[in-house]
A and B are shown apart, each in its own frame.
Chain A
Amino acid sequence: MARKGGSALRRARAWLPGLLLVTPSIIAIGVFVYGMLGWNFSLAMTDKHDEVSEGNFVGLQNFVDIWDEPRWHLSVNHAILFTVVFVLGALVLGWFLAFLMEKGIRGEGTFRAIYLFPMAISFVATGIVWRWLMNSGQDERAVGLNRLFDVVGLPQWAWFRDQDWGMAAMAIPAVWQMSGYVMALFLAGFRGIPEELREAARVDGCTEWGVYRHVVLPLLRPVTLSALIILGHISLKTFDLVMAVSGKQIITDVPAVFMWVAVFDFHDPAKGATIASYIVLSVAVFVIPYLIWSVRKERRS
């Protein structure tokens, strides 16, 4: 049997078991991810604006209509601000911490544990602490961080209740939670760079900083990119954090929260699905190129 079949069959015999092994996952992902996404998109294209109506196909009407809502603009702007502050903050802080620890210091394990620790606590509880810390009271009524800043002499502000920059404050707990993880990634990246390379650069007469710029940073690019993707998608989906710290208030509204409100308060399935679709699309816009690029890059190497 093996001898007679053409080479195609032989090749098929080589990969078929692999395919079989992955099949359960394919089915599960097919149903739970793509089935749900399909359901979501098809719902978003109907006029099912309450639970009882049938819902007729209306094409992309909902996707257009939502831009007439002031709240939608607000929540999109909030999400952008939050994403910028959170992603940059966690990246820079994580990188900086890794940079400080890279040379190997005493008690590294302890520091690592401290920085990674926030990942381990659920926001159901830390949300309250952050709400206390970011209390908007100032001067004689200052509590939380403002009290601390008052004592140290730093400027106080309303944190996440600030009309314009509140979402930047909302990103602080997120940075707190994720920068330890980014640090671990970068630390692994640093350690993965062979010492010989650095040595060689030094021999070529580079300063320490030069070594850093020309050898280390370029090699960290892939780490940076994957950290960027991880942070970015967390950011666009952020929901637990906002709900735990501030709840469903307009002042900290983001699309993920707006979607929750649309589904469970407005009882408007189509609108909720529309917002969910936008979230998926926004993630897709910067994730898909990355995925394609990374798969291609592997093929080349």
Chain B
Amino acid sequence: MLIAFAVVFLIPVYVLLVTSFKPLTEANPSQAWNLPQVWTLEAWRVAWEKLAPGIWNSVLLAVPGSLLSCVLGSMNGYVLSKWRFPGADVLFTLFLFGMFIPYQGVMIPLVQLMVNIGMYGDISGLVLAHVVYGIPICTLIFRNYYVTIPDELIEASRVDGAGMLRTYWSVVLPVSGPAFAVVIIWQFTSLWNDFLFAVFLTGPQSWPTTVMLNNIAGAQATPYSQQMAAALLASIPTMLIYLVLGRFFMRGLMAGALKG
């Protein structure tokens, strides 16, 4: 049963893979199921050539972006669950609502805003946008996770005379691993795969991989095999993150990092 589902799930991946090893002539929908008659690495070579300039930009975007999201989310989650102030719940609700903004709708004023604060056209502005729009989900994940930490631990630390930051550092942070894993997976994936923000907020010098991937398609012809090879290439880093952090991810979910 599970194997059957796995096969179904892998159908698109199969098409991606076999197409990426085909010469351009064979790369069309009518031959989607066939194995390549001529195996070639040409598409992979070209894909690498075209993506390479963007990969470093993507790294510069996704790594600091997801780490920053972690830091912010973790602090917010900590404060909103263990160090509350009047109106914390209302604020949390207001935060969460930010998750639901349709980004295409705010693209034009966002560009305008970035120009005004002088962050338009390079990676830092893009990181800023992603980190800010990531605050809601990251805060949610960390907050729900921290709620499960017994209050007694925090109290004990307070009695010992530790302040807010000390308590965070010595009690909360050491057990936050799973929540970090969930946030990193979530944010890294969305930062790495995002196209809309990337194309609007950065200039050609700082385009990440997704824009390069999109640029493989032409106005009048799309070299499908190259595009599919590029897609696979572009998804390798996210896959690695899944594999490396997968165990933590499950643990984070189990600890209630994303329950209602």
Interface residues of A (CB under 8 A from B): 15-19, 21-22, 24-26, 28-29, 31-34, 36-37, 39-40, 97, 100-101, 105, 109, 111-126, 128-133, 135, 143-144, 147-148, 173, 176, 180, 184-185, 187-189, 191-192, 222-223, 225-226, 229-230, 233, 236-237, 239-240, 256, 259-260, 263, 269, 272-273, 275-276, 279-280, 283-284, 287-288, 290-292, 294-295, 298-299
- Given contacts A124-B213, A279-B105, is CB(A109)–CB(B11) below 8 Å? no
- Given contacts A133-B11, A269-B108, A291-B96, is CB(A15)–CB(B84) below 8 Å? yes
Are B135 and A276 closer than 8 Å at their CB atoms? no
Q: Contacting B101 at CB < 8 Å: which of A33, A113, A225, A291? A: A33
Are B102 and A239 closer than 8 Å at their CB atoms? yes
A191 → chain B, closest Cβ, in Å? 6
Question: Which of A36, A189, A280: most chain B CB closer than 10 A?
Answer: A36
Are A237 and B100 closer than 8 Å at their CB atoms? yes
Which of chain B's residues have a CB closer than 8 A to the CB of A230? 258
Are A132 and B98 closer than 8 Å at their CB atoms? no
Are B106 and A36 closer than 8 Å at their CB atoms? yes
Are B235 and A121 closer than 8 Å at their CB atoms? yes
Are A18 and B231 closer than 8 Å at their CB atoms? no
Q: Contacting B195 at CB < 8 Å: which of A22, A124, A180, A290? A: A124
Are B100 and A39 closer than 8 Å at their CB atoms? no
Question: Which of A32, A105, A295: most chain B CB closer than 10 A?
Answer: A32
Are B15 and A295 closer than 8 Å at their CB atoms? no
Is B63 located at the chain interface by the 8 A CB criterion?
no
Are A115 and B135 closer than 8 Å at their CB atoms? no
B80 → chain A, closest Cβ, in Å? 7
**Complex Cα gap A237–B132 (Å):** 18
Interface residue tally of chain B, by bracket?
A: 35 or more
Are B254 and A29 closer than 8 Å at their CB atoms? no
**Complex Cα gap A36–B110 (Å):** 8
| Binary contact readout B1-32 vs A (1 if CB under 8 angstroms, 0 otherwise) | 11001100111110110010000000001101
Given contacts A191-B254, A226-B258, 19 further A-B contacts (CB under 8 A): A15-B86, A17-B165, A18-B164, A33-B132, A111-B6, A112-B250, A113-B246, A114-B10, A115-B5, A121-B238, A133-B12, A188-B253, A229-B260, A236-B102, A263-B108, A279-B105, A283-B100, A288-B93, A290-B260
Are B32 and A132 closer than 8 Å at their CB atoms? yes
Are A121 and B231 closer than 8 Å at their CB atoms? yes
Chain B: CB-nearest residue to A238 = B102
Interface residues of B (CB under 8 A from A): 1-2, 5-6, 9-13, 15-16, 19, 29-30, 32-33, 72, 75-76, 79-80, 83-86, 89, 91-110, 113, 129, 132-133, 135-136, 139, 147, 163-165, 189, 192-196, 210, 213-214, 222, 224, 227-228, 230-232, 234-235, 238-239, 241-243, 246, 249-250, 253-254, 256, 258-260
A246 → chain B, closest Cβ, in Å? 14
Which of chain A's residues have a CB closer than 8 A to the CB of B189? 119-120
Are A22 and B80 closer than 8 Å at their CB atoms? yes
Chain A: CB-nearest residue to B75 = A21
Which of chain A's residues have a CB closer than 8 A to the CB of B2? 97, 100-101, 105, 111
